[in-house]
Amino acid sequence: MTIDFTLNGKAQHVQIRSGDRLVYVLQKLGDFPSLVPDCLSGNCGHCLVFMDSRLIYSCITPAFKAKDTSIVTYEGFSKTDECKDIVQALTEAAAFPCDFCYKAKVLMIAELLERVPMPEPAQILEQLDIVSCTCTDPVPLTKAIALAAEARNKRKFKRANK
C-alpha cells in the first residue's frame, strides 16, 4: 500500500507493508541517525519522533498510521530555536547524555516544555521515564531542563515584547 505524509516539512509518498514499523520506514527515507530501531517495545526512546506535534515511539507505531500526518524527527527539530535552548542548557548544566540517547533526551525535554513551560520537579521526573537509558545523572539533567525552560521563556517573552 502507499501512504502520504510529511516528514520534516517535506511531502512523502511511500510504499509500505501493513506490518512495517514506522521507524524502519522513516529510516529508509533519508539520513536520520536519530532513528534507531532498538527495543521495539516503546521503552528506550531511541526512535522518538513528533507525529502531529505529539511525541511518540515510532517503533511501536505501525507505519500505516502515518498516513496524512506530519512527522518531525530530531534532525528536523534540531534546526529550531527550541532545540538550541535545550542543547545549550545541557552543556551549561554539565548533563552528559550518552551518544545513544542524547537526541532522544532532547526531544523528551522539548515535549515537556511545550506542554508545561515551567515544569515542577515531579513533572520533570515523570518525563524522564520516556527515555530508559540510565547513563545520565538525574541531578544535572533536571537542572538542564530548568535552564532550558528559562531560556525558552525569555526568548518567547522578548519576541512578544518586540
Partner 1 sequence: MRISEIFYPSSLNELLELVASNSGIVLLAGGTELAGRQTSRTLEFPEQIASIARIPELRKTVRSEQYVEVGSATTLSGLLSLSSGALPFPLPAAIHAIANGAVRNAATLGGNLCCKWRFMDLWPFLACLDAQIELRSRHASRWANLGHLCDEKGLPSVPDGAILTRVRIPVHEHNFVFQKKLGNSRFPSPETASFVCMADIDQNKIGTFKLIFAGENALRNKDIETSLIGRRIPLSQKESQQVIEAYSEAFEKLTGRKSFQLDALVEESLSRLVPL
Partner 2 sequence: MIAKQQNLENLPLLTTLSVPEMLSATVIRSRTAKAINHQVVHSRLPAGYRMITPKDIEEEGCKTDYSPILPIFADEQVRYRGEPLGLIVGPDPVICDELAEAVELTYEEQEPQFIWESFASSQIAYRKTFVYGDPDEAFKKAARVEQGIYHNGVFDHHYSEPMGALATWEYDKMVVYCASQWPSHVRDAVATVLRVPAADVAIKTTEIGTALDGRLWLPSQVACQAALAARLCRKPIKILFTRKEDYLYTSKQARSSVTIKSATDSNGRFLALDIVMILNIGAYNPMAEELVNQAMAAITGFYSCPSIRIEAYAVKTNVVPLGALGSIGSSHAFFAIEAHINHLAKVLPKTPAEIKSANILLKGHSNFGAEPLEAEIPFRRITEKLEELSDYKRKYASYELVKKRDPGCREGVVRGIAITLGYQSDRSFFQIPAMNSYAVEVTLDRTLNLTINTHGAAGSPSVRAMWKTTASRFLSMDEKDIHLLPPVCNNQNQCGPMTLSRGATVVNQLIERACRALQKRRFRESLPIIARAQTRLPPRVTWEQNSLVGQPFAGASWCGTAIEIQVDRLTGEAQPLCVWMVIDAGRIVMPDRALSSLRASILNALNLCIGEEFSPEKVSEESYLYQRVISPNLYPTMEIEFLGSDRATRSKGLGELPFATIPPAFYSALTQAIGLEPQQLPLQGSDILKRLEEE
Task: Considering only residues 85 through 144, tell me which ones interact with partner 1, judged by CB under 8 A.
Answer: 108, 111-112, 126-127, 129-130, 132
Query: What cell was used for 151?
Result: 531560556
Binding flag, residue 56, partner 1 (CB under 8 A): yes
* DSSP label of 79: T
Applying CB under 8 A, which part among 53-61, 82-90, 92-100, 138-146 lies near partner 1? Answer: 53-61
- Are the C-beta atoms of 96 and 79 separated by less than 8 Å? no
6 binds, among partner 2, partner 1, none (CB under 5 to 8 A by kind): none
Applying CB under 8 A, which part among 50-58, 69-77, 78-86, 123-131 lies near partner 2? Answer: 123-131
Query: Closest distance between partner 2 and the C-beta of residue 106, in Å?
Result: 16
Kindly tell me the burial class for residue 87, based on how many C-beta atoms sit within 10 Å of its own C-beta (0-12, 13-18, 19 or more): middle
Query: What cell was used for 157?
Result: 517573552
Kindly tell me the burial class for residue 88, based on how many C-beta atoms sit within 10 Å of its own C-beta (0-12, 13-18, 19 or more): middle
Binding flag, residue 38, partner 2 (CB under 8 A): yes
Question: Dihedral (C-alpha) 136, 30, 8, 142: value to the nearest 10 degrees?
Answer: 0
Binding flag, residue 66, partner 2 (CB under 8 A): no
The answer for residues whose C-beta is within 8 angstroms of residue 98's C-beta and 6 or more apart is 133, 135, 136
Query: Closest distance between partner 2 and the C-beta of residue 75, in Å?
Result: 13
Applying CB under 8 A, which part among 32-40, 63-71, 83-91, 107-115 lies near partner 2? Answer: 32-40
Binding flag, residue 61, partner 1 (CB under 8 A): yes
